[in-house]
Amino acid sequence: MRRLHPVVIALALCAIIFPYIPLISVAVFSVNDTRYGLIWRGFTLKWYHLLIHDQAILQYTWNTMVLAVVSTVIATVLGTLLAVGMDRFPWTRKINTFLDVTLYIPVVIPDIIMAAALVVAYSLLRSVSDIFRPGLLDMILSHITFELAFVALVVRGRLVSLGKDVEEAGRDLFGSSFYLFRRVTLPLLMPAIIAGAMLAFTLSLDDFIISFFTAGPASTTLPLYIYGAVRRGVTPEIHALSTLMMLTTIVLVIGSERLTRRKAGL
């Protein structure tokens, strides 16, 4: 077996380590016993203690979790149904191509364009009903809009890999459509559904641009708070909050991977 050149190995390690240097730096400064400057003054957890006793931060955390959980649940259900409908219904080639393009648009379109389009859409909807004012409801609907596409793509990829042989065998045994979906298709899709849900939750948890355009005065989330706080100056509390959000994301990714493997029997 041919060994890689040391230069190639060094470049590969740098490419892997480099993206994590800022994250590690934030985590280190979150436990540094100094409010200003970059000099190490000793280890402390007081910034985390101040953070968890800040009522405003707790309210922003609650808004963030409500937004992420509600939008993820709805987007997962709708995205799964959309994927099943697109893959299992005998669409014509032109309609299938149109659906594929439509599904990919929320994924590839820049967030700033999506946010601006949502602002225009909500402005038109407010002429019909006052419920579409900037706030948590608009944010939930906005997050569902882009999360749905990610869930549908993940679930549809699983459907394509499964094929239709198992379902056709079930129909040969006189299984109804609902029974086959509940007892055959849904269990086989569960790893992809969980992965899509975790992806949607992570995207919602970290989203800033769309939330910034659709938020109201009482619906500030943690990314919006961090943005406003950083403009006034980076403090150790911001480092601590960023570290906690980073750790939450890492735990969700690892948990999703392990749960997906367990469901898939790997």
Q: Tell me, what CATH number does 243's domain have?
A: 1.10.3720.10
Q: Residue 25's pLDDT is what? A: 85
Domain hosting 185: range is 45-264
Rounded to whole angstroms, how far apart are CA atoms 16 and 28? 19
Asked if the structure places residue 10 within a domain, the reply is no
Across the chain, the runs of DSSP E, i.e. the strands, are none
Q: Residue 173's pLDDT is what? A: 65
Number of domains in the chain: 1
pTM for the complete prediction? Answer: 0.82
- Picking from 204, 208, 257, 259, the residue whose alpha carbon sits closest to that of residue 74 is 204
Asked if the structure places residue 5 within a domain, the reply is no
Interacting residues of 23 by C-beta distance below 8 A, sequence separation 6+: 246
Assign 3-state DSSP to the chain and report helix, strand, coil percentages, each to 5: 80, 0, 20
Give percent of the chain with pLDDT exceeding 90: 18
Averaged over successive runs of 10 residues, the pLDDT of the chain (266 residues) comes to 73 84 85 79 86 86 92 94 84 84 87 90 85 87 92 87 71 68 79 88 89 88 85 80 84 74 58
Q: Residue 71's pLDDT is what? A: 95
Two structure tokens written together for 50: 């101040």
Q: pLDDT digits over 165-222, tens only?
A: 666 676 666 667 677 777 777 888 888 888 889 889 988 988 899 999 998 888 889 8
Q: pLDDT digits over 253-263, tens only?
A: 777 777 666 65
Rounded to whole angstroms, how far apart are CA atoms 118 and 103? 17
Interacting residues of 56 by C-beta distance below 8 A, sequence separation 6+: 225
Asked if the structure places residue 33 within a domain, the reply is no
Asked if the structure places residue 82 within a domain, the reply is yes
Residue 227 φ/ψ, nearest 5 degrees: -60, -45
Asked if the structure places residue 16 within a domain, the reply is no
Asked if the structure places residue 7 within a domain, the reply is no
Asked if the structure places residue 126 within a domain, the reply is yes
Asked if the structure places residue 93 within a domain, the reply is yes
Run of H or E including 68: helix 55-88
8 A C-beta contact, residue 201 and residue 65: no
Rounded to whole angstroms, how far apart are CA atoms 249 and 20? 14
